[in-house]
Every structure is written in structure tokens, then in C-alpha cells.
Homo-oligomer: A and B are copies of this chain.
Amino acid sequence: MFNTITIVGVGLIGGSFGLILKEKGLVKQVIGVSKTERSIQKALDLGIIDKALPLEEAVRQSDLIYVAIPVDVTIPIMQEIMGMINDRQIVADAGSTKQALCEALCDHPMRKRFVATHPMWGTEYSGPEAAVSDAFAGRTCVICEKEKSDPDAVTTIEKVYQLLGMEVTYMGAESHDMHAAYVSHISHITSFALANTVLEKEKEDDAIFDLAGGGFESTVRLAKSSPDMWLPIFRQNREHVLDVLNEHISQLRKFKSCIEKEKYDYLKELMENANKINRIIK
């Protein structure tokens, strides 16, 4: 499928992307670009990339440049890359927010060679060590502003994600960011806040965690996520994140009020309504 690709950011997402493309024989050579020497070395050791090069040389040699770094640094690097490519190369990103990036690149003369994507997969871990070869499969990948990319570029990127086992769906960039706030960003905030709630209590009581069962683990595991990755997401998606956070706090207040005022019939209704998530999450 590709002769050579460059992965900018060889961590959880970029690393998994490189690993799988190599395993599936979809690329002959993977070049890694990272400002962190340790990540490059680790990615080489793990066979995620074949070699490392400075950005400009890497881009020059590549059919596809795949950018998977925190969303705040994506914008300036993407503008740099777009100034280096020709009209047969393809650039794609994997960021969790799409509006700010799409706006930044909107009037770029090479905009048509860029495909804005968000593969909706991740774990709470980061770095090349977190890359896994069963990433992405069974999840949805969003492509934003499809109409602003060249059809051949979109078709190629679609095909890659489909070969990774993903279902591809299309959305406006703002619509994506709103949806992502609801089904991803808020889960991270509730986990971070839940961890802080319990850590606050732990100060008084060392023994508290001996009791933590599977339910606690699953609701709190996202609290291990990297602030370097997630802070820029909350920042770029500030308005939607605040909307859903306000709604979530008001839903929690309903539970609080029911328990406080001992309105157990209404509490039961709230729980039965929440059970409807059953028809969505298997």
C-alpha cells in the first residue's frame, strides 16, 4: 500500500499505527520522528519504526505522514509539514479534537492533501511501550471535513483504517468535538476527579485501597492518563467540555438530593433510566 510512511509521535497511537501497518505488510518502511530521543530508541527497539530522521528529510521520503502528538503541538508541526509536501503525498492526524486544527489549516494551499481523522481508540497508557498490535479494531474512526480533502487522499486513509478493522464515519469538525466531549473527554474528567476524591480520603486512611474491587478500577483507570496529552484536549475543546461537565455535575446533584431528602422512588427512577445505557454499551 505504501512504500514509506513517517510517524510523527511514536507513542500509544502513532506506535500502534506503525506496528500494525508493518505487521499487515501495508508499508515497506516506517520512519519515526520525535523530539524525545528515548522514545525514538524505544520505538526502534520495539520494531515500531525502521529508522529515525529529522522531520524535513522524513517527510521528503514518505507517501504518508501520520501525526499523533498532543493536540496543542499538532497545529504548528502540521503547518510546517504542509509547507514541505507535494501534491501526491498525504498527511493525516489522529488528534482527539478537530475544530482548532481544521480551522488552522483551512486556507492552506495544500489543505487538500490533509485528512483530519480521529480513530476512537486509546488506553490510559502512553509512550512507545503502550503501543499494541490489536489497537483500533472494532472501533469507529471519524473523518472530518472530508469535502476539503482530495478524494484519492480520503480513499487511501479510509482504506487504511478499514484494514485496521475500524468503521469509518464522517462528521463536521465542530460536531466531532461536541460528540467527543460526551463519549470520551467527560469520562476522563470524571476518572481524574474520582481518583482525587479517593486520594484525598486516603491521606487520612492508608488502608482504603486494600478494598478496591473491579468496579472502582474500571471507573478510575482513565485517571492514569497523561496530562500532556489530555490538558491540551480539554483546552481546545473547552466549551463542549464545560457543557457536558455542567450537565454531569447537575446529574450528580440529582443523586445527592434524592439521597439527602430520602426520595428513594425518584432515586430508583434515576437508576432505571441509567440502565438504558444497556442498549448502547454491550
Contact = CB atoms under 8 A, between A and B. Distances in A.
Interface stretch (A46-54, A57-65, A79-87, A265-273): A265-273
A195 B140 contact: no
Contacts of A210: 140, 167, 169
Given A191-B274, A276-B195, A245 B259 contact: yes
Interface residues of A, number: 89
A209 B215 CA distance: 22
A247 to B, nearest CB: 5
B255 A252 contact: no
Interface stretch (A14-22, A146-154, A155-163, A182-190): A182-190
Contact of A197 (B139, B194, B227, B247): B247
B274 A199 contact: yes
B259 A194 contact: no
Interface string A210-253: 11111111111111110100110011001001101111110111
A198 interface: yes
Given A197-B248, A255-B245, A267-B231, A280 B212 contact: yes
Contacts of A139: 213-214
